[in-house]
Structure 1
Amino acid sequence: MATVELRFSALPEHVRTARLVAAAVARRAGVDEAVLDEVRLAVGEACSRAVGLHASNDIAAPVRVLLIEDEKKFSIEVGDEVPGGAGAHADETEGGAESEPEGEDEMGLAVISGLVDDVEVTTGEGGGVIRMSWPTAPAAVLP
């Protein structure tokens, strides 16, 4: 299992770099070319969400991105340092009382869920993590 770790300052201009790195590592891991745009978009949404959470909570810590190659799948974990994460805020509001950042957060999560079949969002005291994975093609065997 190979892992690439990327940490970047929580600034919007760094999201593009994270997308490019994720696509390059996904391609090397054997993710189908037809799915690479989905990988780029999903990573962009997850990283933009983390950047927004850091900005709205005045957190200076970097955003973490792990790119993990397994035998049969390629996984990406995007982590933020917001205690309780956005999920805690979403649970506290009911009936349209959401503030704009939380609404944007929900929209970002909906986009990610539409792009990725295997996605998991967790939150805790140390921050939140979005885990996404895609199947990889088996390595070609040369005759």
Structure 2
Amino acid sequence: MPTVELLFSAQPEHVRTARLVAAQVARRAGVEEASLDEVRLAVGEACSRAVGLHRTNGVEQPVRVLLTEEEKKFSIEVVDEVPGAASGSTGPDADDTAGGEDEGEMGLAVISGLVDDVQVIDGEHGGVIRMTWPTVTL
């Protein structure tokens, strides 16, 4: 069960809020202070990507961010509602000439560079980018 679930409309201005919430929950969960910038940047990339997918494909459902504190780890899942887009494509209706696919792949590359434990999952109803960081116990 997520520690925090954040839903927001697919508007770029909401990405900043998601980044701030993710960093604060990660801090509380015990993610090392030195990793918090990585958390912010990775969540920002994943949320920006999800917002872009929703807007490009005319999806009106909100973007979901699940922040989960588990034993010895903290995970964040950014969920979009665009089937087949998690691996980098922007869906069947996207205009490839606008660079949508390249931006999706670039975002995934940035996330992979920031997070050691990242999974990209294509689902029937959309995609999930799951990122995990170790926590320290006091």
* 1:89 CA displacement: 3.4
Per the normalisation by structure 1, the TM-score is 0.88
Mapped to 2, the partners of 1:30 and 1:121 lie a distance apart of 24
Please say if 1:114 is aligned against 2:120: no
- The corresponding residue for 1:42 is 42
- The corresponding residue for 2:78 is 78
Per the normalisation by structure 2, the TM-score is 0.91
Is 1:6–1:65's contact at 8 Å kept on the other side of the alignment?
yes
* 1:88 CA displacement: 7.2
User: May I ask how many residue pairs the two structures share in their alignment?
Assistant: 133
Superposition misfits of 4+ residues, deviation over 6 angstroms: none
Is 1:2–1:70's contact at 8 Å kept on the other side of the alignment?
no
Structure number with bigger Rg: 1
- The corresponding residue for 2:135 is 136
Can you give the 5+ residue segments of structure 2 that lack an aligned partner in the other structure? none
Q: 1:35-64, CA deviations, whole angstroms, 9 ceiling, x for partnerless residues?
A: 000000000000000000001000000000
Q: 1:2 to 1:9 in 2, by over 3 A?
A: closer
Root-mean-square deviation (CA, aligned residues, Å) is 1.7
Can you give the 5+ residue segments of structure 1 that lack an aligned partner in the other structure? 93-97
Mapped to 2, the partners of 1:14 and 1:105 lie a distance apart of 19
Mapped to 1, the partners of 2:119 and 2:84 lie a distance apart of 15
Is 1:78–1:131's contact at 8 Å kept on the other side of the alignment?
yes
Where in structure 2 are the equivalents of 1:84-123 lying within 5 Å? Answer: 84-87=84-87, 89=89, 99=97, 100-123=99-122
Percent identical pairs in the alignment equals 74
